[in-house]
Amino acid sequence: MSGPRPPVLLALVHACAALLATGCLLGVLPGGLDERGTALAFGALITLGELTRWTGAEGREAAPLGAAAALSYALLGEIGSEPTRHGVAQVIGVVVVASLLGSVPHIARGRPVLDHLARRVLTVGFAAVCFQPLFDQGAFHGWGTTYALLLLGILTLTSLCDALLAAALAHSRTRWPFGPLLRDELRATLGIGSAVCATGAVMALAVAVAGLWALPVFSLPLLLTQMSFRRYAAVRTTYRQTIASLARATEIAGYTPAGHARRVAALSREVGRDLGLSEAELTVLEYAALMHDIGQLSLVDPVPAGATAALPVAQQRRIALLGGAVVRQTGVNPQVAMVVERLADPCPEQPLAARIVRAVNAYEEKARDAGPGGPLKALEELRLGTAGEYSPEVVESLARVLSRDCLMMPLAG
């Protein structure tokens, strides 16, 4: 069997960014930098932002300070009331060099940087092309407060372009549906993205009036914002680890096989993505999948191999209600408890998250116990049970995920 074809869109975006960066660098090198002090100041700030780049799971903008500084330089028309002379090529050239310098430690640690750098080059290039030529022609002179609104408008369009690029790159890498990815990126833009846009606009306006001394003053709030996001992400990570540890209680007690909850949670999340759930909905789904068997701790006699899918409906419902009661006592999001409680409800009455966990749990149990060819047999049993026991939409999504990620292959061998 041949391997998967390289994502065409991914290669195209990287190629466009590389061509733009190379062309701008070649255009700047022969004549050198105009206003070298300004270029070095903004380059140093962008480098600092990239050095502190964060790869936390809860943030879409990994280097908010670097992004704000790069956008500010792209939208800089004056310094201390004196017109600037740098153009689009110099803006992109400085951003490319500074971003590469700031990415050296991340590259050394093996962290992915290509998508991040491509987005940075293309979005800053878009902002510079929108602003610099028109400003040089005097189109924005004397606009007063409208000038500030114009900066915000260009930054808003730039943020939308960045969200489109991020969603397209993620879709190309993962094959997850583009619509939900774009929706999540746009929602994230309203968070840290709005802070980046506001800081970029304010920095450009402040430097135009007060000079380069405004850069450190207006960079501090964004640094504090980035530190707050890091702390928030650390809390979320600890919270997720606590839930995962609690879910392992059934394994430690011998009620379920080792790794069962983790496998169900991982596969449920993939199915949820395929069906277009948002990040918040995916989090609820993942937590419910991790804790779907927690009700078995209340049983006197363990279910053989923890396989609840084959139990009578009344016993399944009892375990689900007991599990929901336990989840509510942990202080987890009440939606997680609701999903766990409804795992044994009639399929048409279940919320989508409960239908996903129910089907994935049944698949995992059946595939585990069916021997050679277990995954294929398990999927076929689920398809035969879609008349009322399992959701046809979820089962077909599960089949797509298994086929796409080749999850059947190791199990079937």
pLDDT digits 0-9 by tens, 106-152: 888 888 888 889 999 999 999 999 988 878 776 666 556 677 777 77
Q: What pLDDT score does 92 carry? A: 94
Residues 228 and 257 both lie in one domain: no
- More confident of the two residues 19 and 409: 19
What are the φ/ψ torsions at residue 83 (nearest 5 degrees)?
-60, 145
What local confidence, expressed as pLDDT, does residue 91 receive?
A: 93
Sole residue written with tokens 């379920």: 256
Domain count, the chain: 2
What average pLDDT does this structure show over 303-332? Answer: 80
**Looking at residues 261-283, what average pLDDT do you find?**
90
In the chain, what percentage of residues exceed pLDDT 70?
A: 89
Same domain? For 209 and 253 the reply is no
pTM: 0.76
pLDDT at 217 over 50: yes
Residues 372 and 256 in one domain: yes
The range of the structural domain enclosing residue 134 comes to 8-236
Find all residues with CB under 8 Å of 346, minimum gap 6, and list them: 388
**pLDDT tops 70 at residue 351:** yes
pLDDT higher than 90, residue 17: yes
Mean pLDDT of 212-233: 78
Residue 241 lies in a domain: no
Tokens of 106: 């991340």
370 falls in which pLDDT band (50, 70, 90)?
Answer: low
Examine the domain organization and report whether 226 and 259 are in the same domain. Answer: no
314 assigned to some structural domain: yes
285 and 189 assigned to the same domain? no
Alpha-carbon gap, residue 304 to 283, rounded angstroms: 29
Decide if 242 is inside a domain. no
The pLDDT of 271-293, averaged and rounded, is: 90
Residue ending a domain, among 201, 236, 271, is 236
Q: Does residue 1 belong to any structural domain of this protein?
A: no
- Residues 163 and 217 grouped into a single domain: yes
- Is residue 185 in some structural domain? yes
pLDDT at 6 over 50: no
Evaluate whether residue 119 is within a structural domain.
yes
Among 211, 236, 261, give the residue marking a domain's end. Answer: 236
Task: Check whether residue 218 and residue 290 sit in a common domain.
Answer: no
Judged by average pLDDT, the poorest of 152-156, 190-194, 279-283 is 190-194
Both 315 and 200 in one domain: the answer is no
My answer on whether 228 and 111 are in the same domain is yes
Assigned domain for 118 exists: yes
Span 352-361, average pLDDT: 92
Q: Tell me, what's the pLDDT at 413?
A: 34
Do 260 and 135 share a domain, yes or no?
A: no
Instruction: Indicate if 157 and 295 belong to the same structural domain.
Output: no
Q: Which of 236, 266, 298 is the last residue of a domain?
A: 236
Average pLDDT, the chain: 82
User: Residue 347 is inside which H or E element, if any?
Assistant: none
Domain identity same for 259 and 231: no
Does the residue 243 lie in any domain? no
Residue 89's pLDDT is 93
Q: Going by DSSP bridges, is the β-strand pair 78-79/82-83 parallel, antiparallel, or unpaired?
A: antiparallel
Task: Write the CATH number for 286.
Answer: 1.10.3210.10
Which comes out higher in pLDDT, residue 408 or 367?
367
Is the Cβ–Cβ distance between 147 and 201 less than 8 Å?
no
